[in-house]
Amino acid sequence: MKSNLKPSRKRKHAMGRFSVEVQLANNEDLIYAQGGSLEPDKVRRVTVTGVVDSGATRLVLPKSVADELGLRPRRKVRVRYADGRRRLRNEVGGVHLTLQGRDDVFSAVVEPKRDTALIGAIVLEDLDFLVDCIGQKLTPRDPDFIVNEIE
């Protein structure tokens, strides 16, 4: 039976997953620019769609984005997908990530066939965001500071 429904153009994600805009830059370039040995407009940076998934652990980048930023693989890491498959993937370091005005430097798993970044729990925890799955938004726990839990 043929449906009369038109396919949605909006990306849908599983419960607990939603998209945000994230800025990424090569942190090594940023350091050189701050030191004056690289023009600021030469810093490799991109703005991409990131899928927030609090069930994922790490930051994951499409290979095309890692290549555009000039991030070199530093080692192989083992990944496990939600369906149980396991693979070896490259890990890159020095990813300067900015999300809703908060930023830090992360390592990332490089996924050859992804077309969006994946923002997992480590990034969310480090930037101190609370995930609102129903409202599909990120909320800083404290609007003025990143709060660090210490003993």
Does residue 7 belong to any structural domain of this protein? no
Does residue 29 belong to any structural domain of this protein? yes
pLDDT of amino acid 7: 37
pLDDT of amino acid 15: 55
With a cut of 80, say whether residue 4 has pLDDT above it.
no
Which of 90, 151, 94, 99 lies closest to 126, judged by CA? 99
Encode pLDDT of 24-52 as tens digits.
Answer: 999 999 999 999 999 999 999 999 999 99
With a cut of 90, say whether residue 85 has pLDDT above it.
yes
How many structural domains comprise the chain? 1
Does residue 45 belong to any structural domain of this protein? yes
Q: What is the mean pLDDT of the chain?
A: 90
Cβ atoms of residues 87 and 110 within 8 Å: no
Does residue 52 belong to any structural domain of this protein? yes
Does residue 33 belong to any structural domain of this protein? yes
CATH of the domain at 38: 2.40.70.10
**Is the pTM above the cut of 0.75?**
yes
Grade residue 17 by pLDDT with cuts at 50, 70 and 90: confident
Q: Which domain holds residue 51?
A: 18-139
Alpha-carbon radius of gyration of the chain? 17
Does residue 35 belong to any structural domain of this protein? yes
With a cut of 50, say whether residue 147 has pLDDT above it.
yes
The residue with greater pLDDT, 15 or 10, is: 15
Does residue 2 belong to any structural domain of this protein? no
CA–CA dist 106, 131 (Å, integer): 19
Average pLDDT over residues 74-92: 95
